[in-house]
Amino acid sequence: MPATKNKKVSPPKRGKRPSPAKSTKQNEEKAAANRQLAAIILFAVSVFFICLSFINGGGLWGGLRTLSFGLFGFSAFIWPLVLIYVAVMATLDKTDQKIGVKIFEAAMLIILLSAAIHIFGFHGVVDFSENVIDAYNAYRFDGSLVGSGAVGAIIGGAILLATGSSKPAAIAIILILMFLFLMLMTGTTLKKLMKGVYSPVKKVSEYREEKLEQLASAEERNRESFNPDVDLGPEPVTEKSAKKSKKTADIVQFDNVDKKESNEAETNELTESKPVLLDDIIKKMNGDEANSQISKPIEEAAKSSASASALKSVKGTVSDDENDKPKAEYQLPSLDCLAEPKNGRNVKYEDELKANATKLVDTLKSFGVETRIVDISRGPSVTRYEIQPAAGVKISRITNLSDDIALNLAASGVRIEAPIPNKAAVGIEVPNKNRSTVTLREIIDTDQYRNAKSKLFVALGKDIAGNCTYADLAKMPHLLVAGTTGSGKSVCLNSMIVSILYNAKPDEVKLLMIDPKQVEFTVYNGIPHLIVPVVSDPRKASGALAWAVTEMLSRYKTFSDNNVRDISGYNSICESIGQKKMPQIVIFIDELSDLMMAAPHEVEDSICRLAQMARAAGMHLVIATQRPSVDVITGLIKANIPSRISLKVSSQIDSRTIIDTAGAEKLLGNGDLLFYPVGIAKPQRIQGCFLSDKEVETVVDFIKKQEKSSYDDEVMNEIERQAAMEKKKNGGAVSDGDDSDGETDEMVPKAIEVVVDAQMASTTLLQRKLKLGYARAARIIDTLEERNIIGPYEGSKPRKVLVTKQQWYEMNALAQGGAAKDYTASDEKNDDTEIPE
């Protein structure tokens, strides 16, 4: 008997059951489709009855028209319009209720309207039998457009019966019911109603106060025409100005960033347990932004603080000739010199924020990353969407999707801050489609700037939340600025300089400006804050930095003699004994790379010494460069300048060079910057303030009218002397060109004869022909290059000889006659060129 095998029967295959989330989504889509279909049908029916009300006809059309007017009377013209409103609201998803509920509310409103028509037209006393007769007559005659119709007669008569034929009571009841159903149908609450009533009254009141303030400000400006010989005194404090100063927004500077972020972290923890709606986030953001709007500019006159002891000079900064001349009281520049900000508050961007937030969450969800929006911060240039990933989601999964996020949002690029310091969230910064310009006037016209104690309090711009941001150079204590051409580097420097000019008098802050490009800082020539004219020669720039080191050491010697530690202690002693205070000095360098090419060792040594020691002496550096490479910003310079500003750079390597992290290459340019001061964990993104050339010229002209420049001749001579010393240290020629170090070598004439005969020059040739060592031959080659006998170094090729044998003989003859001249490379073109006598 054959053995039978038990066959394993597999259960029938079943279809894969859909997930609950998927089925819920399908049900929602089906309900939305049904809702749209019902809205379309309702709209079509409403249009049909509108046509029925206005067009006469016979047959079925006439019967329906008579029925409509008989039931509703004059309301037959209105109720189709109400149904159209319900259909439109349902189509646009403006209501959360079902469409059937909305139709019921609309029907009740129409019935009550018909009843109101009946009540208003009623006269006499009503009973039940008369009410029935009135309803019959209304249906019979209202087909001819008379009265309220049968429905209105029944409901209105019932209300009149309930009130004992009291017409005023019936009118009150019907109006209350109509108001109730009107609010239900439109979704209006009492809170919204009261807000709608209060808002126009508030706007009218604010507009009236604003006009009064503008008139008062215009009258004040007309009275205060500028006269440098008249002391206008401080501006009187009025009740309006006091109220306005209280309304000015509180601005957080970078010193308080940690405190602000910790408060935000606590708020985030409190709200983490309950769900956050996107509409609530946008409403909250709009409210915060409205509260942070900067008040209208207020003109502030300079405070009078002159005294007899303040006429004494400070050694090394102000010339002694100034003390013999009586000076008018210096006034700080007027805010009228700066352009007023353009008002851009009427721009509607709530829909854009909501759409981007939804796209952002959906994009991350499509890649398997579950997140939710917890906050939105809209700045002048970018909007930061703060998302909170679900448990178990790595941050790296979000940061790796930056290009995909930019693609789905149709943005030029996004920057991801993961995580946001002191927050359990990841920040995704998306560029705004409509960028707003931040002006310097709206940044410095705040109580935060006016009440700053430091004279080196500078305006930077607005952060990503729209708050004004400042920096105190005295606390930084030095600043490094980098950015490519067109990124806004020069505008950033000009904003800092003008911020100082608006806050400090010439005897409080002195400026030393170095501008190798000769076009950025020359506009400031002639202001009394400058120690010397703007330095544009790279060699003199090296001498200016060397003078700054000498001045720093001199100040420390003065501090040591007076037993104080820093400039604040010394100025306290000067104030107590009636002597003039020692001014702070800020050194602005516009292009460091050019200085590093001209005199790298001297410039680096001076910058490092100043960066290490100058803070206590009241001297501060602000260095800018458009090439943040390691050969320009060396390790020593970076180590001694902890505070940095990075505008847009060309590569991630440059970004890491300036701020030690990536991100600056994704900035937008035009003032978009990362501010990385000492003391914070991550760079802060800021939209820098804009300052036009015309505004700078206006401010400079105002200051020049106040006081003329008084350059210190001793400082200028010292800079020339330091520059000459640096040239000698470097083995370069002195300004005359005849007494170079190479001429002390007796072999130079023989070396010239050798290279002229051979018509080629190299160190090896001199070693072989003149039997010299390598070091001596190399020094002679450098001397010949400085005297324009030979050309520059060209790699492995021999150097070109720029003079012929005949020219050399002529030069020798003239040199013996005492009229030797250096030849330039242009002499090579014509051998018969006459030698100038």
Q: Is the pLDDT of residue 714 over 90?
A: no
Highest mean pLDDT among 8-17, 138-147, 649-658: 649-658
Q: Which pLDDT score is estimated for 621?
A: 94
As a dihedral over the C-alpha atoms of residue 282, residue 288, residue 289, residue 294, rounded to 10 degrees, the angle is 170
Kindly state the average pLDDT of the residues 583-599.
88
Q: Which pLDDT score is estimated for 276?
A: 53
Q: What pLDDT band is residue 436 in, cutting at 50, 70 and 90?
A: confident
User: Hey, what are 667's tokens?
Assistant: 């900035």
Q: What pLDDT band is residue 727 in, cutting at 50, 70 and 90?
A: low
Q: Which pLDDT score is estimated for 184?
A: 78
Q: Which pLDDT score is estimated for 20?
A: 53
Q: Which pLDDT score is estimated for 696?
A: 93
252 or 622: which leads in pLDDT: 622
Q: Which pLDDT score is estimated for 471?
A: 92
Question: Exposed, middle or buried: residue 5 (CB in 10 Å: 0-12, 13-18, 19+)?
Answer: exposed
Q: How far apart are CA 124 and CA 557, in angstroms?
A: 109
Pairing of strands 479-482, 468-472: unpaired
State the helix-helix crossing angle for 278-291 and 350-366, rounded to 10 degrees.
Answer: 140
Q: What pLDDT band is residue 274 in, cutting at 50, 70 and 90?
A: very low
Same CATH topology for 247-293+352-436 and 440-718? no
Q: What pLDDT band is residue 181 in, cutting at 50, 70 and 90?
A: confident
Kindly state the average pLDDT of the residues 227-234.
42
Q: CB-side exposure of 715: number of CA atoms within 13 Å? A: 26
Q: How far apart are CA 540 and CA 602, in angstroms?
A: 11
Pick left, alpha or beta for residue 70 (phi over 0 → left; psi -120 to 50 → alpha; otherwise beta): alpha
Burial 165-189 (b: 16+ CB within 10 A, else e): beeeebbebbeebbeebbebbeeee
Q: Which pLDDT score is estimated for 788?
A: 81
Q: What pLDDT band is residue 66 in, cutting at 50, 70 and 90?
A: confident
3-state secondary structure of 514: strand
Do the beta carbons of residue 463 and residue 689 sit within 8 Å? Answer: no
Q: Which pLDDT score is estimated for 312?
A: 34
Do the beta carbons of residue 586 and residue 457 sit within 8 Å? Answer: no
Do the beta carbons of residue 359 and residue 366 sit within 8 Å? Answer: no
Q: Which pLDDT score is estimated for 55?
A: 78
Q: Is the pLDDT of residue 711 over 60?
A: yes
Kindly state the average pLDDT of the residues 245-274.
41
Give the lowest-confidence range in 123-127, 489-493, 794-798.
123-127
Q: Which pLDDT score is estimated for 183?
A: 80
Q: Which pLDDT score is estimated for 126?
A: 58
Owner of token pair 């209350």: 176
Q: Which DSSP category does 94 fall into?
A: -
Tens of pLDDT, residues 315-339 = 344 334 444 444 568 888 988 889 8
Instruction: Report the share of the chain in percent with pLDDT over 70.
Output: 73
Q: Which pLDDT score is estimated for 60?
A: 78
AA identity, residue 427 = G
pTM: 0.54
Q: What pLDDT band is residue 250 in, cutting at 50, 70 and 90?
A: very low
Distance of CA 105 to the CA centre of its chain: 50
Q: Is the pLDDT of residue 2 over 70?
A: no
- In the predicted model, what is the mean pLDDT of the chain? 75
Q: What pLDDT band is residue 255 in, cutting at 50, 70 and 90?
A: very low
Q: Which pLDDT score is estimated for 510?
A: 93
DSSP string, 483-501: --TTSSHHHHHHHHHHHHH
Tens of pLDDT, residues 798-836 = 788 888 887 787 777 666 554 334 444 344 444 443 333
| Order of strands across the sheet that contains 479-482 | 468-472, 457-463, 684-688, 672-676, 643-646, 479-482, 619-625, 584-589, 509-514
780 or 12: which leads in pLDDT: 780
Q: Which pLDDT score is estimated for 153?
A: 75
Q: How far apart are CA 167 and CA 145, in angstroms?
A: 23
Q: Which pLDDT score is estimated for 261?
A: 44
412 or 91: which leads in pLDDT: 412
- Class in CATH terms, 733-829: mainly alpha
Query: Is the peptide bond prior to 477 cis by the omega test (within 30 degrees of 0)?
Result: yes
321 or 285: which leads in pLDDT: 285
Q: Is the pLDDT of residue 648 over 50?
A: yes
Residue 510, H or E segment: strand 509-514
Q: Please choose, from the candidates 733, 735, 738, 736, the residue with its C-alpha nearest in 3D space to the C-alpha of residue 820.
A: 738
- Class in CATH terms, 247-293+352-436: alpha beta
Q: Is the pLDDT of residue 465 over 90?
A: no
Q: Which CATH architecture has domain 440-718?
A: 3-Layer(aba) Sandwich (3.40)
User: Residue ranges per domain, the chain?
Assistant: 33-190, 247-293+352-436, 440-718, 733-829
CA angle 543, 547, 552 (to 5 degrees): 150
Q: How far apart are CA 723 and CA 468, in angstroms?
A: 42
Q: Is the pLDDT of residue 314 over 50?
A: no
Q: Which pLDDT score is estimated for 47?
A: 84
Q: Which pLDDT score is estimated for 241?
A: 43
Q: Is the pLDDT of residue 652 over 80?
A: yes
